[in-house]
Amino acid sequence: MATDWQVKRLAGALGAEVSGTDLTTTSGSDIQLIKALLLEHKVLFFPGQTISPSQHVEFGHNFGELEDHPNLKNPFTDHPYIFELAATQGGVADEWHTDITFQDQPSIMSILHMVKCPEVGGDTMWTNLEQAFDELSTPMQQLCEGTTALHDAAPHSRPDIMAIHPVVRLHPETGRKSLYVNEHFTRRIVEMNVTESDAVLGYLTGWVKNPRFTVRYHWTPGTIAIWDNRCTQHFVLNDFEGERVIQRVTVMGDQVEAAARPVAQPWVREGRKSATSRYDRQMRQYLRSRDQEAVDV
Ligand SMILES: O=C(O)CCC(=O)C(=O)O
């Protein structure tokens, strides 16, 4: 069956559309082909699928362990392992992000089913984080490789759920380096003071949005999109009227590997407290709980 597939690249940076497939009847070799195509293109689109929530979940199991969304509730569907966003219920992901980076082992890939979409607008964009890293200057690459960043679930009203990841991660299958900070979940460069961190994070999260690194996809109902969360971010254009419903299956299970060791200890201000101490409170809390966990183990 895989020999009937047609693969069309959609942009210079990433993204390909695959036609001639029925994802409800995939064989082992089809899954291997999808994995290979995903490594090559980073995000794949399969238009015209007819897939039930159970078939969607079954398809997801081919790629690893699945996880329900840790913080958000679905508006309509309560199928286990399906995470649903509906625009009329506030479910429009219009800030650039990689999925659930506030967890120690963030999602490795996501499989989205477009259930209902507007005729005009509501496109989704993805950006290629390997290219974004490659095109930084050498001094900036070195600065990024020597640092880590604190991520949290504040957008889900859970700033207490936090993780630290390298600013530059290695892809476990290709060994390539990606810039791994996003404006939705990344709060602070751990080794820098807050003003330095704000400047660097502001720069990097803006840099990854350069249109040259991106692909923009216009949806039709039934399309399945699969993306590699280890080397991409995505963003929904909030430019439409009416309803838009997506269902996502999220594949878990990846310890983020750093491209290099951090060049410094976490930046924690010593001495007397002051009005600006509040900027360091969250990072202190995270470091204290991490140190306590190490003692408990
Ligand atoms: O609605 C979309 O197109 C993308 C959804 C999204 O951002 C996500 O599932 O993380």
pLDDT tens digits for the chain (297 residues)?
Answer: 456 899 999 999 999 999 999 999 999 999 999 999 999 999 999 999 999 999 999 999 999 999 888 888 898 888 889 999 999 999 999 999 999 999 999 999 999 999 999 999 999 999 999 999 999 999 999 999 999 999 999 999 999 999 999 999 999 999 999 999 999 999 999 999 999 999 999 999 999 999 999 999 999 999 999 999 999 999 999 999 999 999 999 999 779 999 999 999 999 888 899 998 999 999 999 999 988 887 776
Number of domains in the chain: 2
List the 245-251 sheet strands across, edge first. 6-9, 16-19, 43-46, 224-228, 109-116, 245-251, 83-86
Range of the domain at 178: 131-208+260-268+275-291
CB of 2 within 6 A of ligand 1: the answer is: no
Whether 296 is covered by a domain: the verdict is no
Q: Is 234 a catalytic residue?
A: yes
Atom of ligand 1 at shortest range from CA of 235: 7
Is 45 found in the same domain as 65?
Answer: yes
Catalytic residue among 113, 165, 244, 248: 248
CA triplet 131, 112, 57: central angle to 5 degrees?
Answer: 125
Measured distance CA(3)–CA(16) in Å, rounded = 16
Is 102 found in the same domain as 235?
Answer: yes
- Give 100-145 as a DSSP string: TTTSSS--SEEEEEEEE--SSS--EEEEEHHHHHHTS-HHHHHHHH
CB of 246 within 6 A of ligand 1: the answer is: yes
Catalytic residue among 234, 244, 254, 280: 234
DSSP symbol at 71: S
CATH number at residue 182: 3.60.130.10
pLDDT digits (tens, 9 = 90+) for 222-255: 999 999 999 999 999 999 999 999 999 999 977 9
Is 264 found in the same domain as 194?
Answer: yes
Among all chains, which residue has been given the structure tokens 């290695």? 170
Is 119 found in the same domain as 28?
Answer: yes
Atom of ligand 1 at shortest range from CA of 85: 1
Is 97 found in the same domain as 62?
Answer: yes
Whether 297 is covered by a domain: the verdict is no
CB of 111 within 6 A of ligand 1: the answer is: no
- Give 204-230 as a DSSP string: HHHHTT-GGGEEEE---TT-EEEEETT
Is 282 found in the same domain as 170?
Answer: yes
Pocket test residue of 117, 183, 234 for ligand 1, highest count of atoms within 8 A of CB: 234
CB of 247 within 6 A of ligand 1: the answer is: no
Q: What is the rounded radius of gyration, in angstroms, for the C-alpha atoms of the chain?
A: 20
- Nearest residue to 188 via CA among 219, 222, 163: 163
CB of 124 within 6 A of ligand 1: the answer is: yes
